[in-house]
Structures are given as C-alpha cells and as structure tokens.
Amino acid sequence: MKYYSTNNRRHLVSLKEAVIQGMPSDHGLYMPENIPDVDKNFIRNISDFSFHEISFSIAKLLIDNEIPDQILHSIIEDALNFQTPVVELEKGLKILELFHGPTLAFKDVGARFMARVMSYFLRNTKNELNIIVATSGDTGSAVANGFYKVDGINVIILYPSGKISKIQEKQIVTLGENITSLEVDGTFDDCQKLVKKALTDQDIKKSIDLTTANSINISRIIPQTFYYFNAFSQLNEQEKNNLVISVPSGNFGNLFAGILAKKMGLPVYKFIAATNINDVIPEYLKSGIFTPRNSIATISNAMDVGNPSNFVRILDLYKNNYVKIKNDISGYAFDDIETRKAIKKIYEKYEYVTDSHSAIAYLGLLKYLRNHPEISCGIFLETAHPAKFKSIVEKEISTEIQIPARLEKFLEYPKLSKPLKNNFSDLKQLLLSR
C-alpha cells in the first residue's frame, strides 16, 4: 500500500515514509492509495472474532505487508491491552466506551499503536526522531504517555494555555524525560498552525528529524478504524441494520476513521458529526461552503477547533462531492447550556455519567433519531472518562466522581511545562537548538 498527498496524488510514499514524515512537504495530508475492501464473509462473521483479531485483519489491509504479520500481531496486542465495549442505555441506544486505556481517552488507541509502529520503523536508525504535537486536551496526554521513555524519540507538545482541563494538563506537563510540554499563549488552532509550519520549514528539516503524532499522521488514523469494526461485532443481527454512529468531533480524525471504515465495507448507514459551537462542519453540511474561523472556548475543550485538519481527508475521500458527503454524514452543533443539560439528563435517566464531549454526541444522535424512526440502532462515542472533566460533570449531576488511581497520580506531580508565545520564530529557535 502506498500513500499519497491530498495536494498531489502522484506524490506516493511507503507507509514508513508517511509515518516518519508525518506530513508531506506540500502541506497536504497522507491518504491510502486505494481503499481496500473488507471481505464480506469477515463482516458476516465478525462477531466470532476478538478485538485483536478484528484489528489485525483491518490493519493488514491498510499496511499491506510493510510490517511482518508476527510483528503486527505483537504491536496490536501490546498497544490495545484494553477493551472498547459497547454499553446499552436502552433498546436501540448504545454507547461505545473508548476511555479504558491508560490515559482514559480514546486517543490511547491511536497513540499507543503509533508509538509502536514508529519504534519498529526506527529500529535500525541511530538518529533521534523528534515528534511535535498540537493538542486541545487528550491527544497530548495520550501521546506523552504512549511515547514516554521510548528510546530514540523526543516529544514536543504544544497546548493552549488555560484552555484544557487541569487533569488533562497534568497528564501532559508532569512527565519530563523525553517529553517537553510548551504552554502556548493562544488557541488550539494557533498551536496547530505552529506545528504545521514546523513540519514544512526547510531549516528545521535540514537540522533535525521531525514528524507529528497528531491525527495529521496517518498512523493515528489507521487504528481508530479498529474500534468501529469492533463495535459492530458487539451488536445483534437486528441492530446491525441501519446503524447510525454519532461522533463528538473537533479535528475530525475520529470521524474520518469511521468514514474510512465505512468505505472499506463496514455497514454503517449514517455518521453524525456532532460539534460544540465551533460548528464549521455542520455549517458546511448545510451550505456546501467550508469557512474556517477562530475557535471559541467551550466546556468541551477537545472539540474547540475552528479549522479541522482532517476535513481535507474527508473531502478527498469523496472527491469533493458535496451530495455524497451529505448522504453519509449529518451534522449538528450544540452550545454549553445544551451540553450541561444532556449530562444531567443522561445521569438522571440512565444513571450513567458522561463527559461534556460525549454528551454532545448523545444530543446529535437523539436529534437524528427523532426524525428517522426506521433506524434500528444508534451508537454514540464516549471518548473520555468523565473524571477528566470532574468539575464540569459534578456540577450537573450533584454527585462526586471518583478519580481512577492511574489518573489521580498525575495530580501529585509538579508542572514542568515551558511558556511559549504564539510566535513561530520562538518555536523554530527552540527546535533548532535541539
């Protein structure tokens, strides 16, 4: 399997090159040259397979022998040492829980897989690899912990000052060792712009080996397809018909992974792009016009993105066909007041505690289901443990949330981050000094 740039389909590279480069020099994003078809018999019998077996089968199609089967098996078993269960709230309404990894967020799936794939590709290299990441919350913690103390790899994480939860920040800024955290005076979009400029700056490229672990990197996207197939495997035969999945969306890597799974043959009838008031994609789905803008801070901070990178992948996958995109994706946006009410409603109705991001996915799914009674099953994604947004959630449910031990330990450690102005020259100087 070769991978091309969204800005130049003739720019083909191996998976290794795509992963190590992170982003093409032409500022595009890497995409698989072909969308492989999953065997229909595999889909028909998918409930007979384990999460690891499903993941291996899908990974093998996208990686196409660039990693030996035995090594790929080991990577998957080591990276995905936790489950992604589907939990039923009521008949036809389910939650896909993606917070059972070490940092209690869905991004553990992508970050842990990516760290092991990179380590394999760098096994015969003496040069150190530097990974630069922009985060609106959970990416930073997942990447920091996924790459912590990995030989030959340094990680630089940029996060917007005061715009992520305290627990998210502590998971990023307390590790030290090979993890450098930079507290940027700006928004997530500012952090993302700095990262993209660094990845394509010629002076930096000549001086150090630099890549990214954001969902810009295709090795973050590949494993995120696994849990969509795994969720489907947990449904009964009736629920597998006319399935709708609602995804809380910020930078749109998670939604793109689901759509990629659908294009490979996963029978999902519709995806819901559920956003907070940073609603550039729901607005696009109404008008056909994509208008990026500055992001606005909300209580669902990981979704505070005004110019989602992975939307170009969605456009590329559909060859910019607006009608086909609308056939597969519906989009809805909700404000903080609606989000808070949803957290409370889910708790009171189902005794289930959800975080502020997943509450938006719930709202998006409900809005779609009200107008489509023919749908047999709807799933919304629970992307982070509610303890990561403790103060927000507790206020709505009037109940204390127990912080898991592996999360609580971060609160005891000192903050090691460095301040960084929203200025590329300062970041460039820091990177060149390495």
| Catalytic residue set | 107
Residue 235 tokens, joined: 């449904």
Phi and psi angles of residue 97, each rounded to the nearest 5 degrees, phi first: -85, 120
Distance CA 186, CA 419 (A): 11
* Closest listed residue to residue 254, CA positions, set 282, 234, 274: 274
Distance CA 172, CA 385 (A): 16
Q: What is the DSSP string of 75-136?
A: HHHHHT-S---EEEEETTEEEEE---STTSBTHHHHHHHHHHHHHHHTTT--SPEEEEEE-S
| 297-300 LR contacts (CB < 8 Å, sep 24+) | 297/163, 297/187, 298/335, 298/336, 298/339, 299/336, 299/339, 299/340, 299/356, 299/389, 299/392, 300/248, 300/276, 300/336, 300/339, 300/356, 300/357, 300/359, 300/360
The pairing of beta strand 179-184 with beta strand 418-420: parallel
Q: Determine the residue type at 206.
A: K
Phi and psi angles of residue 204, each rounded to the nearest 5 degrees, phi first: -65, -40
DSSP class of residue 400 equals P
Contact in structure between 125 and 405 (CB atoms under 8 Å) = no
Angle at 393 between CA 391 and CA 395, to 5 degrees: 70
Q: What is the DSSP string of 144-173?
A: HHHHTT-TTEEEEEEEETTSS-HHHHHHHH
The pairing of beta strand 209-212 with beta strand 129-134: parallel
Distance CA 138, CA 106 (A): 8
- The enclosing H or E element of 346 equals helix 336-350
Contact in structure between 101 and 108 (CB atoms under 8 Å) = yes
* Closest listed residue to residue 267, CA positions, set 44, 32, 78: 44
Distance CA 51, CA 221 (A): 17
